[in-house]
Amino acid sequence: MPEKRKNTPPISRPHRRRRASAAGGPSMLSRIARLHELVKDGQRVTAETLARELEVTRRTIKRDIEFMRDRQNIPIAWDAAKRSYH
CATH number for the domain spanning 43: value is 1.10.10
Q: Is residue 73 part of a domain?
A: yes
The confidence band for 19, taking pLDDT boundaries of 50, 70 and 90, is low
Q: Is residue 14 part of a domain?
A: no
> How far is 62 from 26, CA to CA, in rounded Å?
15
- pTM, entire model: 0.68
> How far is 73 from 34, CA to CA, in rounded Å?
17
Q: Is residue 7 part of a domain?
A: no
pLDDT for 25 = 73
Q: Is residue 19 part of a domain?
A: no
pLDDT at 65 over 90: yes
pLDDT for 14 = 60
Count how many domains the chain has: 1
Q: Is residue 46 part of a domain?
A: yes
What average pLDDT does the segment 56-81 reach? 93
What average pLDDT does the segment 40-55 reach? 92
Q: Is residue 12 part of a domain?
A: no
State which residues form the domain around 45: 28-85
DSSP E strand boundaries for the chain? 78-79, 84-85
Report the mean per-residue pLDDT for the chain: 83
pLDDT at 52 over 60: yes
pLDDT for 67 = 94
Q: Is residue 48 part of a domain?
A: yes
Q: Is residue 77 part of a domain?
A: yes
